[in-house]
Structures are given as structure tokens and as C-alpha cells.
A = this chain, B = another copy of it.
Amino acid sequence: MGDACTSITVDTVLFTATSHEEENYRKLPGKELRVLLLRRAEEPFQQQWALPGGTVCARENLDEAAARTLQEETGLERIYLEQLYTWGAPERDPRCRTVSCTYLALANAAQLEAEQDATGVVSHWFTVQESLLEEKKVMQGEGFRQERTSRLTLTADDAEAYAIIRAGRYVGANGARTDRTLVDCSGLAFDHGMIIQYGLERLRSKIEWTDLAFHLMPERFTLTELQQVYELILGRELLTANFRRKTAHMVQETNAYKRDAGHRPAKLYRFDPDWEAKQS
């Protein structure tokens, strides 16, 4: 086994939704999905952008390690975290064999005010955009293989990065199995581009049947703001009337309004923790 000891790390894909002002005073601010990345100070991938994370300590479990490393590198605490996927390709870290247990994290704007670049690490929020480059289907044996190649584009004020990811899927006589490869990337360390894309995919699929979106919302919000967040993540527009009908049971009305917007004020809502009980 003469190799160096394999090491186990955690890495966190932290998403948030931010507003950006619109030119017209009447228009609502638009929304963007952002992910937090840190500039690496050391080799390998020096000066490239990487997910917050680090090595797991002896006396903590994986969830704790993710929360701790996030706190150490960004000052953020009490962030929603859920395990995403564990990546262990042999060559993913050029130094030594490293298995990374990754987490999906969500934060709202209020939580981010505590953010501070601790320990001198440079952190940046990048807007996230995904676009489909190619989609193909090839017959193979008794079934077929599908491949979707997409481009993840990350943009910050003074930096840019991208990754091209190919998600494959073989469907045979018994069902489907999937795989994923990083075709190309620029500005991103390790396989982190692929991890971000997978995190986005997870977020996209879970938002439809869970309350995940509310981790991205402030304490009080308008239904339009909520809808914007859904549209942002799903990447398509929703019809207002239908959206409100579907989310009505997850929110509680407050008697406050959002005023001074240059148009009719919108009622503020809050998340209803008890929504599932009302389902039956």
C-alpha cells in the first residue's frame, strides 16, 4: 500500500438568492442564484476558486465537520446543511487520494450579514447559470444511452469561471443507471464545478416537493418574491395564480405589507412549519 493515507474532507455548496436593483424605479428587483467560493491560496489549484470545506477532524461527525469548516472559512453559523454526495475518483486531488463528502447548504440574506472573511480567506459570491449544450440518445445493446452536456457559468464582480459537465444515463432491460464527468473547466479547483452542478440539480428536484426554498427566504416575504426564487431555481416561469394555489398551504399570512414600491403593496407572508399536517 506504500501510498499516502487517503484523506477525507467535507465541501459545501452554499447557495443563496440575492436581489439586484432594476433601472426603472417601479420595477421589482430581479433575483439571482449565487454560490459561495473561496480563492485558494496554495497549490494545488492556487488562485483558483474552490468550495468552502476542509479535512474532517477525529472527534466530529461529517455534519459537524461541514458546519465547522463553513464557520471557520466564512464566519457563517446556523446554516441549513444536508448531505449531497460523496466524490471519490482516484485522481480528483493530485496530491493524494482524497474522498470528499459534500453538503448542500442554503442561506437567506439576513444570515449572510454575519459573513466575514475569517482567517484571511478571500470569499466571493458567484451568480450561477446553467445552460444545456447538447442532448443525445444512442441505442446501445437492448437499451440506450442518454447524455446531457451542460455548461455551468459562474460570474462575480471581478472573476469568472465555468465548467462543462456531461451527465450520462444508461437505460437497459432492468432500469436506469447514471454517471457524471467533468469535461472541461476553467477557474475552478478540483471537480468542484461538477459538484456545484450536482447541487443545483438536487436543489431543482427537491424544491418541487419539499420546503427547501424557505431556507432561501427571509423571515417575511411576499408571494412574488417566493415565486421569483422558485423560478430562479427551476429556470422557467410559473403562472402566478397556479403558483399561489400550490404554495398557499405552506405559508401563513401576516398583516404587514411591503410598501413604497411604486405600485400596489404586497402582503407579507411567513413560512408555516405545520404545513405537512394540513395536507391530509
Contacts and interface: CB of A to CB of B under 8 A. Distances in A.
A173 B83 CA distance: 21
Interface in A166-186: 171-178
A211 interface: yes
Interface string A2-38: 0101111000000000000000000000000000000
Contact of A273 (B99, B101, B143): B143
A113 interface: no
Contacts of A7: 6
A85 B103 CA distance: 11
A44 to B, nearest CB: 18
A128 interface: no
A45 interface: no
Contacts of A56: 6, 88, 99
Contacts of A175: 80, 210-215, 271
Interface in A53-81: 56, 58-62, 65, 80-81
A142 B99 contact: no
Contacts of A101: 86, 88, 99, 101
Contact of A211 (B6, B62, B176, B215): B176
Contacts of A97: 58
Given A1-B58, A6-B58, A99-B101, A271 B174 contact: yes
B85 A83 contact: yes
A217 interface: yes
Nearest to A170: B273
Contacts of A176: 210-211
Most buried by B among A85, A172, A176, A178: A176
A86 B85 CA distance: 8
Contact of A8 (B59, B85, B99, B171): B99
A142 B56 CA distance: 32
Contacts of A90: 58-61
Nearest to A84: B86
A270 to B, nearest CB: 7
Interface of A: 1, 3, 5-8, 56, 58-62, 65, 80-83, 85-90, 97, 99, 101, 108, 142-144, 171-178, 210-215, 217, 219, 270-271, 273-274
The 3 closest A-B pairs by CB, nearest first: A62-B88, A5-B5, A143-B273
Given A56-B88, A61-B88, 13 more contacts: A5-B6, A6-B7, A6-B8, A8-B8, A60-B90, A81-B177, A99-B99, A108-B174, A143-B273, A173-B273, A174-B217, A175-B210, A175-B211
